[in-house]
Amino acid sequence: MLKILVCAEFSAHVLVPLLENLFAEQGVSVSLQVTEFSDPELLPSLHLSEAPDYLCLLPTVQHLKLRQLKSDGSNFVETEAQRWSGAGELFCQRYPTTRILLANFAFTGEPIDEHAQAINLCWNEWSRSNSTAQIVRLHQLSLMKGVELWSDPRLWYAARLPCTLDQLGAFAFEIVKTMLSRLFPLKVVVVDFDNTLWGGEIGDLDPTQINLGGTPDGEAFVDFQFYLKELIAQGIILVGCTRNPRQVAELPFKHNRQMVLALSDFAHIEAGPDNKATALEKIRDLVNVGLDSMLFLDDSSFERALVQNLLPAVSTPELPADPALRVAFLRQLIVTEAPLSSTGRERNELVRQNIARQTERQNYPTESEFLCSLQMKASIRPLLPADRPRLVELLERTNQYNMSGLRLVPKDSQVLGLTLEDRFGHHGLVAVALTHNENDGLMIDNFVMSCRVASRGVEESFFNHLKLLARQEGLAKMSMVYVPTEKNIHCLDILRRNHFVKESTAWICDAASPLAPHWVSYE
Amino acid sequence: MSETERLFRAIREELQLPDLVLTLATTANDVNGWDSMRHLQIILRLEREFGMKFATRDILGARNVGELYQLIQAAKRP
C-alpha cells in the first residue's frame, strides 16, 4: 500500500477517485490523504501517525498571482520557488523515507507566466540536485492541451478547480505517470524495424528504397529515430528486435544515408524468426532487467497483442498507425529523468560491453574459467563527494540487488563503494554498502549492487573486504538488514551463498571466515 | 422530446442512475451520489446539451432542477 499525502492549493479531493482508479489499473493500491492549504510553511508541523511514501505538492498559478500582487517584487521568483521546495525538504527531514512530487505551474497565457516559468526552472534545478524530488510537468501538459482546453476560470471561482473537469483526468495521469517512472523505471526500449524505424519491409526492398526522409511519412520516421537517440542520451538502453535475418536487418544502417540511428546505437539487436514474446524473453536474459522495465514498440497490432497476452509485464503501448503521431504519443506516455552520473549516461554502451562478455562466455568450458579470463579488478574505497550522483542513482534505481530498500544514507552510516574493471572496459561504481558499528558487529544498513555485475563474485569480494574491516576494528560479526520485496529475491541467494544466517530480524555472519573468489583481484 | 425531458435525461446519465425519478423540485440533497463533483459534471453536460454557458454565480447557485431549467431558458432569450 502506497501512502500518499496530497497538499494542494485547490479542491484536490476531486483527484482522489481519479488517482485511485489510475493506480489500480497499474496494480498499485494506494491510500490517499488530501489537505487543502496555501501555506507550505505549515507542512513540517503537520502531525501524522506515520510517514507517507509520497508528499505530493500541488501549488496553483491562481494563488501565485495573488501572492505577486502582495509582493514588493524583490526576489519574488526565488522566494516563491523556495517556499515549496524548502517546505518539502523540511518535511523530509522529519520523515526521511518520504519522496516529494511537486507539480510545476501550468501555462495561463497571462503575464504571470513569466514568473511562473522562472519558478518552474528553479524547481527543475532543485529536483536535479535532490534525489527524492520529482517534478510533475503540468506546464508542459497545459501547453500541449492549450489554454482554452485546459482552464475554465468559472470552475476556479465556483469550485476552486485549477483546470476543466475533462483535464482533471490528464492531471491525475501526469501525477501517476511521474510517480511510477521512479517506482518502475523504464530501462530498456525494444524497437521493431520494418514500419517502425522506417516505412516498408527491408526483406522486399532495396535499402535505399525504404520510406525514410523525403516523404511526409518518411520525415516522421526520421524524427522517430531522433527521438530514440534522445532516449539513449537519457540513459535508456535501446534494443532492436526484428524477424528479419540479421544481415538483412542491418542493410539500411549500412546503405541508407537518411538513417539517424547507427548500429552502434543499439545495445543489442535480436534478429531472427522467433515470435516477439520469445525474443523479448531472450532480451530480458541478455540485458538482465525485469520485464516490467521494458517498453516494446512495434507497428504491428498482431505482435503487440501477442506480447500483451504472453508478457503482460512488458509495457506495450498501442503505437499510432500514423508515423507522424508516434513521437508526440510517446512523449505523453514516457517520463524519463536525465541521468545523474556519467555511468547513467553511458548505460547503453555498458550494456553493449556486457553482452559482448556474455557472448565470449560461450568460448569457455566452465564459468570459473570464463570469469578468470575477464581479469576483473575491483577497488573498494570510501565514497568521495564526486561519487554522490552515482550513489544516488544506485540507491534509487536498483531493485533486484537492493537488500534493505533504503534509498537514503542514514546520518551515522559510512559509505563504501566498489568500482570494477575488466578486459572489456570499466564498469564504474557498481556496488555500495552503508555500514555502521554496533556492539560487537559491523552492521550493514544496506547493500546495493548493479545487476550488470551479478554472479561475478563482486559481492563476495565486497563482503570479504567488510569482514577484514570488521576484524581490524575487533568486531566478531557482520549483520545485514534484508527487507524482502517482490523484486529482491536474488538478495536471499547472496545472503545464503555468503553464509549469512537469519537471527531474529537481521542476517548474521562470522567476520572471521574469508570467502573471496580468486578471479577478482582487489585493493 | 420536451426540454425538461432532455434535462432529466442528461442528469440521469451523468449520475448514472437511469431509473431516477426527477421533478423540477428535486434538489441535489434528495439524490444519493449528487455531490459537488457530480454537480459540476452535470453543469458541463447541460452546457454541451443545450449549447449555452452558465454564469459563474449560477454554477453552484441553482437550488433545484427547476432553477437549472430556468437558467437554461434564460440563456436562450436574446
> What are the pLDDT digits (tens) for A457-507?
889 999 999 998 899 889 989 999 899 887 889 999 999 988 899 988 889
Which residues lie below 8 Å from residue A492, measured CB to CB, with a gap of 6+? Answer: A482, A484
Considering only CB atoms, which chain B residues are within 8 Å of A153? 56
The pLDDT-based confidence of B26 (bands split at 50, 70, 90) is very high
pLDDT of the residue at B63: 86
Q: What are phi and psi of A271, to 5 degrees?
A: -115, 140
B56-71 mean pLDDT: 90
Give the containing element (helix H, strand E) for A434. strand A425-438
Average pLDDT over residues A237-258: 95
Q: Kindly indicate the confidence band of residue A350, based on its pLDDT and cuts at 50, 70 and 90.
A: confident
Across the interface, of B36, B55, B57, the residue whose CB is closest to A159 is B36
**Chain B: residue whose CA lies nearest to A14:** B37
A509 with A498: CB under 8 angstroms? yes
- Predicted local distance difference test score (pLDDT) of residue A208: 92
Percent above pLDDT 90 for chain A: 59
Give the angle subtended at the CA of A321 by the CAs of A318 and A327, to the nearest 5°. Answer: 75
The pLDDT of residue A290: 86
Q: How confident is the model at residue A387 (pLDDT cuts 50, 70, 90)?
A: confident
pLDDT of residue A170: 94
Pairing type for strands A237-242 and A268-271 reads: parallel
When CB atoms are compared, the residue of B54, B57, B60 closest to A159 is B60
Answer for the pair A499, A508: CB distance below 8 angstroms, yes or no: no
Report pLDDT for A115. 96
Q: Are A413 and A445 in contact (CB under 8 A)?
A: yes
With 90 as the cut, is the pLDDT of residue A283 above it? yes
Q: What is the pTM of this model?
A: 0.75
Measured between CA atoms, the residue of chain A closest to residue B59 is A158
In this structure, how many other beta carbons lie within 10 angstroms of the beta carbon of residue A461?
23
| pLDDT over threshold 90, residue A223 | yes
Query: A489 and chain B: CB distance < 8 Å anywhere?
Result: no
Distance CA A329, CA A317 (A): 9
Residue of A nearest to B37 (CA): A14
Least CB–CB distance from B56: residue in A14, A157, A165: A157
Question: Angle at which helices B3-15 and B65-76 pack, to 10 degrees?
Answer: 130
Subunit contact B54:A157, Cβ cutoff 8 A: no
Q: CA of B4, closest CA in chain A: separation in Å?
A: 25
Helix, strand and coil percent figures for chain A, each rounded to 5? 45, 20, 35
Residue A349 has pLDDT above 90, yes or no: no
d(CA A503, CA A325): 57
pLDDT at A376 over 80: yes
pLDDT digits (tens, 9 = 90+) for A148-200: 999 999 999 988 999 999 899 999 999 999 998 887 788 999 999 999 999 99
Find chain A residues with C-beta within 8 A of B59's C-beta.
Answer: 154-155, 158-159
Compute the nearest-CA separation of B61 from chain A (Å).
Answer: 9
| Count of pairs with CB atoms under 8 A, one residue in A, one in B | 23
Please state, as a whole number, how many other Cβ atoms lie within 10 Å of the Cβ of residue A209.
12
- E strand residue ranges, A161-307: 188-191, 237-242, 268-271, 294-297
Q: Which of A99-103, A193-197, A235-239, A485-489 has the lowest mean pLDDT?
A: A485-489
The amino acid that residue A301 corresponds to is S
pLDDT in tens, A184-198: 788 999 999 999 999
Determine the distance from the C-alpha atom of residue B24 to the mean position of all C-alpha atoms in its chain, rounded to a whole number.
10
CA torsion A151-A155-A161-A165 (nearest 10°) is -70
Residues of A in contact with B37 (CB under 8 A): 14
C-alpha cell at A305: 497483442
b (16+ CB within 10 A) / e for A395-434: bbbbbbbbbbbbbbbeeebebbbbbbebebeebbbbbbbb
Residue B15's contacts (CB-CB under 8 Å, 6 or more residues apart) are B31, B33, B34, B38, B42
Among A13, A15, A165, the strongest candidate for a mutation testing the B interface, having the largest count of B CBs within 10 A, is A165
Residue A294: other Cβ atoms inside 10 A: 24
Cα A408 from Cα B19, distance rounded (Å): 55
Torsion of CA A360, A364, A369, A372, to 10 degrees: -20
A132 pLDDT more than 90: no
Nearest CA of chain B to the CA of A165: how many Å? 7
Task: Please write down the long-range contacts of B36-41, taking CB distance under 8 Å and 24 or more positions apart.
Answer: B36/A159, B36/B60, B37/A14, B38/B14, B40/A155, B40/A159, B40/A161, B40/A165, B41/A165, B41/B14
Nearest Cβ partner for A154 among B36, B41, B59: B59
Query: Mean pLDDT of all residues in chain A?
Result: 90
Sheet bearing A237-242, strands edge to edge: A268-271, A237-242, A188-191, A294-297
In the block, residue with C-alpha cell 492541451: A145
- Helices A326-333, A216-233: axis angle to 10 degrees equals 30
Higher pLDDT: A61 or A48? It is A61
Which residues of B are less than 8 Å from A154 in CB distance?
A: 54-56, 59
Instruction: Count CA atoms within 13 Å of residue A265 on its CB side.
Output: 22
CA distance linking residue A448 with residue A446, whole number of Å: 6
C-alpha A163/C-alpha A151 separation (Å) is 4
**What pLDDT shows up at residue A45?**
76
- What cell was used for A127? 529536483
Tens digit of pLDDT for each residue in A81-97? 999 999 998 888 888 77
Inter-axis angle of helices A76-94 and A112-129, nearest 10: 40
Check residue A48 and give its pLDDT.
83
- Contact list in B for residue A164 (CB cut-off 8 A) is 44
Residues of B in contact with A19 (CB under 8 A): none
Residue A334's pLDDT band, with cuts at 50, 70 and 90, is confident
Q: What is the mean pLDDT of chain B?
A: 90
pLDDT, mean of residues A287-297: 91
